[in-house]
Amino acid sequence: MTENPTRNSRPARPRRSRALPPWSLVVAGVLTGGLLGGAYGVLKPPTYTATAYVLAVPTESSDSAAALGFAQAYGRIATDLAVLGDARERAGVPLDTLRAGVRTATSPDAPMVAVSASSVRPAKAADMANAVARSLARRADATKADTHVELVQFSRAPRPTAPSSASPVVTGLIGTSAGGLLGALVLLVRPGRRPEDEAEPRPATVPGPAVASDAHGPR
């Protein structure tokens, strides 16, 4: 008895592609970056920054141009070991903390030095800025006879009332932007799919049932 080939062989079903759409990489990057950025802003302690100002004043034997030049020079040496070592006792922090948290800035138009200090405690930030500003003024006063320029404290650093670090909302937005950009870059540089990979496989050809006259031969 001849077996029917249709019982043993079934047509193969075409495989359906389950790959995610390309834009899902960008969406995943946006969500991941936003979550990581927001978590960083929440977990990281806020930072406070206080700023004190000292003014370079020329003596009778000097002029304003010399005061402006020495203000630039004092701004560069404000974070030196000699100045910070003298300020650490008044600030009440180790030398490494002063070195990491104190920054200075000068103006090309005004003979002024801005001394900024950052800390997780507002009062400590103000103490650090004022201590370094006073130490810098004393250092300049010791050489006043040679430079003919002295530093006077123009403004003390007040205790900051608001953090200077970014809020969780800002860090979340930054993380969202960075994640979306990274996802777009991955989408651009990923290898392209070949045309034969995208084409769906054709079902296997199954022979039809044999005709009775062909199966049993001529009568």
Q: How far apart are CA 65 and CA 58, in angstroms?
A: 9
The answer to whether residue 53 scores a pLDDT higher than 70 is yes
Q: Where in the chain is the domain with CATH 3.30.70.1130?
A: 45-155
- By CB neighbour count within 10 A (0-12 exposed, 13-18 middle, 19+ buried), where does 108 fall? exposed
Q: What are phi and psi of 151, to 5 degrees?
A: -105, 130
* pLDDT score, position 173: 78
With contact defined as beta carbons under 8 Å apart, do 83 and 198 qualify?
no
**Residue 72 amino acid letter:** Q
Rounded to whole angstroms, the Cα distance separating 84 from 81 reads 5
Question: With contact defined as beta carbons under 8 Å apart, do 15 and 201 qualify?
Answer: yes
pTM above 0.75, yes or no: no
Question: Given a cut of 60, is residue 1 above it in pLDDT?
Answer: no
Segment 149-187, tens digit of pLDDT: 888 888 999 999 888 766 677 777 787 788 777 777 777
Kindly report the CATH class assigned to 45-155: alpha beta
Q: Which residue has the higher pLDDT, 114 or 15?
A: 114
- How many residues does the structure list for the chain? 219
Q: What percent of the chain has a predicted confidence (pLDDT) above 90?
A: 25
pLDDT exceeds cutoff 80 at 18: no
Closest CA to 137 of 110, 106, 107, 113: 113
How many Cα atoms within 13 Å fall on the side-chain side of residue 28? Answer: 10
d(CA 185, CA 26): 9
Average pLDDT over residues 27-35: 76
pLDDT for res 189: 76
Q: Above 80 in pLDDT, residue 92?
A: yes
Q: Which of 3-12, 87-96, 185-194, 199-208 has the highest mean pLDDT?
A: 87-96
17: pLDDT strictly greater than 50: no
CA distance 150 to 67: 8
Does 64 score more than 90 pLDDT? no
